[in-house]
Structure 1
Amino acid sequence: MTITPGPPDTTSVASEHTDPRRPDRARTREELTRGTFDLLVIGGGILGTSVAWTATQAGLRVAMVDAGDFAGATSSASSKLVHGGLRYLQTGNLKLVAENHRERRSLATTVAPHLVNPLPFLVPVYEGGPHGAAKMGAGVFLYSALSAFGDGMGRLLSPVQAARLAPGLRTEGLKSVAAYGDHQMNDSRMAIMTVRAAVDAGTVVLNHAEVVGLRSVRGRVTGAELRDRADGTEFGVDARLVLNATGPWVDRLRAMEDPDAAPSVRLSKGAHLVLRTPEPWRAALTIPVDRHRVSFAIPWEGRLLLGTTDEEYTGDPAEVSVLPSDVEQILGEAELGIDAPYLDAAHIDYSFAGLRVLPGGPGDTSSAKRETVVTQGRGGMLSVAGGKWTTYRHIGRTVLAELRKVRSVPLAEEMADPLRTVPLPGLASPDAVAQRIIIDREPGARLDPRVARHLASHYGSLAMDIAAMIREDPALGERIHPDGPDVWAQVVFARDREWAVTVDDVLRRRTTVTVRGLETPEVRARTQRLLAD
């Protein structure tokens, strides 16, 4: 199964509901048309969401819109890692690795410990491979030292020790294995929780709202004309400053401001496969492909995530997809570190492709810097693109620094520190939440511990709200698919509390149904009925 990030699906949407907790699109549109916002963010990926959250914390009146779903494209098509960037050691960029580590540790300990999970990583060293055991051992030790050994000390393991953690590890010709610690996440859930944090701070948000034109006064961009894709309603938003955070579409919106604007970015496609395995893995593999490139095999959501590719993409961002050549490449590179029987293409449950946004310039995309690019157009619109998931809060700070230079935005001299410790909603110990869910069940209605753990690790303390829905309507505690941990109460929660409009919003990004290969016609039909309830 393949996901193609881009415009939203055309599934019919639900009628509105009188539940005051439920996002009301008509009421939101009315609020968006009222008065003038300090900042209008166009693009609801993690980059735009981070800026909206940060700017709202700084005291601005902020609106954020997206033509598709929040995190509907690149932001939900990543390798699901929160990491320091081991490969940056190869270029000697120790400062960048240390900075990444600090933000990684902050996310994992104070901002989102309920959503970001520690994971051991193994680097196999083979005879005739691109790196020797001594070099890799020194590398993972330095990598650990740059994180102040917050995840233990990088070290070398024997092949036998490593095979216990990664059952499919290819042991033929294996000399040694370097081990280090990093973190992973469910990027879709992280993004939705960050949208919720921005809304809790005061941001007004609307997904499935396409920009059809820019408003301007005397040549300066002062807002946008939009069309609600849910029902076709057209409306406008006025703002002192407009920020273009549309990711792969950034140059398309810049051309709307200035038809003569030169391209500012280039795109690189990253494809991934999600594979069933006969037994669970307890560690990820970082597989050296050559001296500069690696491929990952990461245990994720009960599956094994393989990838990624890194090749320049020049087509329509809405049409990016996983091609047979991508599958062949990913499986071929995985064979460098995984036994071939593990890599049967018949075991692929899901595949997806996203687009990295890179600074324009010559050279191979794999060697291009993963940095944030901020530009200002002829009409005054700011455009921001690029960056890493791990440092998404830093992007908010970078853009806020640019906002200081814009006189039309009323920023106080003393602003709140955008990197101060503001946790994402739901902050709580997943273990404690799961135990509480189980204990709170009525006698004879005990919730499956696997479901309770799943809810706790994807929603934090907000899982208690889902558990309360199940107490009121036990039918909502039924699993969406018998082979997965998601339950129907999550669909209702996505509809009423997480801005889900279409079936794909729910199954691909609010739950894990699609990524586990469990999306059947029957599941889609019942999900649509719940959305329309």
Structure 2
Amino acid sequence: MTTTIGTDRAQVREELSTTTFDLLVIGGGILGTSVTWMAAQAGLRVAMVDAGDFAGATSSASSKLVHGGLRYLQTGNVKLVAENHRERRALAADIAPHLVKPLTFLVPIYKGGPHGAAKLGAGVFLYSALSVFGDGMGKVITPNQAVAKVPALRTEGLRGAAVYGDHQMNDSRVAVMTVRAAVDAGATVLNHAEVVDLRKTNGTVCGAELRDRLDGTEFGVSARLVLNATGPWVDHLRRMEDPDAAPSIRLSKGAHLVLRRHEPWKAALTTPIDKYRVSFAIPWEDHLLLGTTDEEYVGDPADVRPTEADIAQILDEAGHSVRDTQLRHEDITYAFAGLRVLPGGPEDVTAAKRETVLTMGSGGMLSVAGGKWTTYRHIGKHVFDILAHLPDRPLGDDLVTPLPAVPLPGLASPDAVAMRLWTDRERDARMDPLVARHLATHYGSIAFDLARMIREDPSLGERIHPDGPDIWAQAVYARDHEWAATVDDIVRRRTTLTVRGLDTPEVRAKIAELLA
């Protein structure tokens, strides 16, 4: 197995166990990865570990949206929408235009529906104004115009549709590129490394004892400061610090479905279910993404998964606006669920605010939970600022302020990358345009590294499964450069094989052989 510095697990474990870090981040999801990136930019010696894969839980189980939050206008939170739009524009224009893509949304207006045309028209106009009309002007269109954009739209009782613009992404790819950005800035990271205990000196948390889940190796990490960013497991780690720690969060499960799409969609659907809840139907990875549910979850976070009741609810709610022919159970290729981390409280989870929860424990460990992809950089910077200026444990006066517009690796125009891949004259044969487009929109300019691998070994240009665009160069690159250590790391989060329903036993066996 060929490896590079930063992905050789034994080498990384040695570095982790022999270095005293300024900051140890436990948890490699949205928040942990963002804080690690910011801390490394600031010049700190920072380490990040995760018991599973990076973004392996809730952070790769999102609705794949980078959005301003149209529904927040319903509650009058105009300031929040404006802030979300600013961050969305930064991601789409300066940080990750190769990974964050514009997408038109329709809100269908039906006779007897919870919202009328005048209200929705005013709402999407205000929404687009808050984004400085960067995605066009929100407006109401006719039923015929709506069906032209979404052929599977249900037309019975359709009075029109409100149109607005937002963005979408592949959350797993954004996560991997953020980890890479953190490592490029100097961070040391390791996935599949479980914290089994916290290190303490005179009652103060100063590191952690870990076990490599892949080979059982035990090792420790020492740090001046420890951040608990374990998402749904945040209270589990807080109880390692203090067995009497009171619960700080509660959990809400959100499930999604991915289905084969029978015809092209030029827009997504945001369908009001009642006065507050909506159902999404989003063209994504050549398929259709449906969701989501919102119900309290009290079980083991590791056991969260969609139930048959979740699947039935999602299909039923999508059926408010999508024709039955596009909602057949046999077209489901993948179903997944994640857990939203909400502040503790008595109210129903559907009414709870999606806000970041910060707590300082008796041992000086800062715990943080919550957040969302749209504002993940902003929240990471906010948490880092708190860490950097703790009055009793300052990290130093010579810190560099993290730059606000550092792009993720691979920054490039996907159109330009795809065209160059397709027309590269150094190869004996042109790359399949579908594969070229797939690589360009998932790697940006890093796709040229994969193209060089294919020139050296043409077999790496072959598709992993004939029905999908993922190629063997991606699996090798994931192993050698993107910390992919298990079959699931590759099929679920470094490629699109699982979401397309293409991670067959034969495919998984070949990838296991590649990793062996």
TM-score bucket (shorter structure): over 0.9
- Deviation, 1:526, is 0.6
State the AA in 2 paired with 1:152: G
TM-score norm. by structure 1 comes to: 0.95
The residue that corresponds to 1:483 in the other structure is 467
8 Å contact from structure 1 (residues 63, 204) kept in 2: yes
* Aligned equivalents of 1:328, 1:231: Cα separation in 2: 40
- Deviation, 1:22, is 6.5
- The one of 68, 73, 79 equivalent to 1:95 is 79
- Deviation, 1:147, is 0.7
The residue that corresponds to 1:154 in the other structure is 138
8 Å contact from structure 2 (residues 4, 480) kept in 1: no
The residue that corresponds to 1:340 in the other structure is 324
8 Å contact from structure 2 (residues 180, 409) kept in 1: yes
* Aligned equivalents of 2:330, 2:313: Cα separation in 1: 16
The residue that corresponds to 2:405 in the other structure is 421
Specify the SS of the correspondent of 1:27.
Answer: helix
Specify the SS of the correspondent of 1:287.
Answer: strand
Identity in percent: 72
Specify the SS of the correspondent of 2:489.
Answer: helix
The residue that corresponds to 2:43 in the other structure is 59
* Aligned equivalents of 2:220, 2:399: Cα separation in 1: 32
* Aligned equivalents of 1:58, 1:95: Cα separation in 2: 29
The residue that corresponds to 2:33 in the other structure is 49
8 Å contact from structure 2 (residues 257, 332) kept in 1: yes
1:465-498 per-residue CA deviation (whole Å, 9 max, x = no partner) reads: 0011111111111101111000011000000000
8 Å contact from structure 1 (residues 22, 496) kept in 2: no
8 Å contact from structure 1 (residues 241, 409) kept in 2: no
- Deviation, 1:440, is 2.2
Distance change >3 Å, CA 63–CA 439, structure 1 → 2: same
1:123-156 per-residue CA deviation (whole Å, 9 max, x = no partner) reads: 0011110000000000000000111111110000
- The one of 418, 440, 443 equivalent to 1:459 is 443
- Deviation, 1:439, is 2.4
Distance change >3 Å, CA 481–CA 346, structure 1 → 2: same
The residue that corresponds to 2:336 in the other structure is 352
Distance change >3 Å, CA 384–CA 178, structure 1 → 2: same
State the AA in 2 paired with 1:124: P
Superposition map of 1:358-369 within 5 A = 358-369=342-353
* Aligned equivalents of 1:443, 1:303: Cα separation in 2: 31
Specify the SS of the correspondent of 1:33.
Answer: helix
Distance change >3 Å, CA 20–CA 291, structure 1 → 2: closer
State the AA in 2 paired with 1:60: L
8 Å contact from structure 1 (residues 41, 242) kept in 2: yes
8 Å contact from structure 2 (residues 94, 407) kept in 1: yes
The residue that corresponds to 1:244 in the other structure is 228
Superposition map of 1:248-287 within 5 A = 248-287=232-271
The residue that corresponds to 1:524 in the other structure is 508
- Deviation, 1:413, is 6.4
* Aligned equivalents of 2:245, 2:416: Cα separation in 1: 53
* Aligned equivalents of 1:471, 1:114: Cα separation in 2: 23
State the AA in 1 paired with 2:291: G
* Aligned equivalents of 1:409, 1:64: Cα separation in 2: 20
Distance change >3 Å, CA 21–CA 27, structure 1 → 2: closer
Which residues of structure 2 form unaligned runs of 5+?
A: none
- The one of 426, 429, 433 equivalent to 1:449 is 433
- The one of 389, 398, 412 equivalent to 2:397 is 412
- Deviation, 1:263, is 0.5
1:162-195 per-residue CA deviation (whole Å, 9 max, x = no partner) reads: 1111111111101110000000000000000000
The residue that corresponds to 1:470 in the other structure is 454
* Aligned equivalents of 1:213, 1:307: Cα separation in 2: 37
- Deviation, 1:324, is 0.4
1:264-318 per-residue CA deviation (whole Å, 9 max, x = no partner) reads: 0000000000011211211000000000000100000000000000000000000
- Deviation, 1:415, is 3.6
The residue that corresponds to 2:123 in the other structure is 139
- Deviation, 1:445, is 2.1
Which residues of structure 1 form unaligned runs of 5+?
A: 1-15
8 Å contact from structure 1 (residues 222, 239) kept in 2: yes
- Deviation, 1:228, is 0.7
Query: Post-superposition, which runs of at least 4 consecutive aligned residues in structure 1 deviate over 6 A?
Result: none
State the AA in 2 paired with 1:392: Y
Superposition map of 1:255-404 within 5 A = 255-403=239-387, 404=389
Distance change >3 Å, CA 61–CA 272, structure 1 → 2: same
- Deviation, 1:443, is 5.2
- Deviation, 1:442, is 4.0
State the AA in 2 paired with 1:174: L
The residue that corresponds to 1:34 in the other structure is 18
* Aligned equivalents of 1:406, 1:45: Cα separation in 2: 27
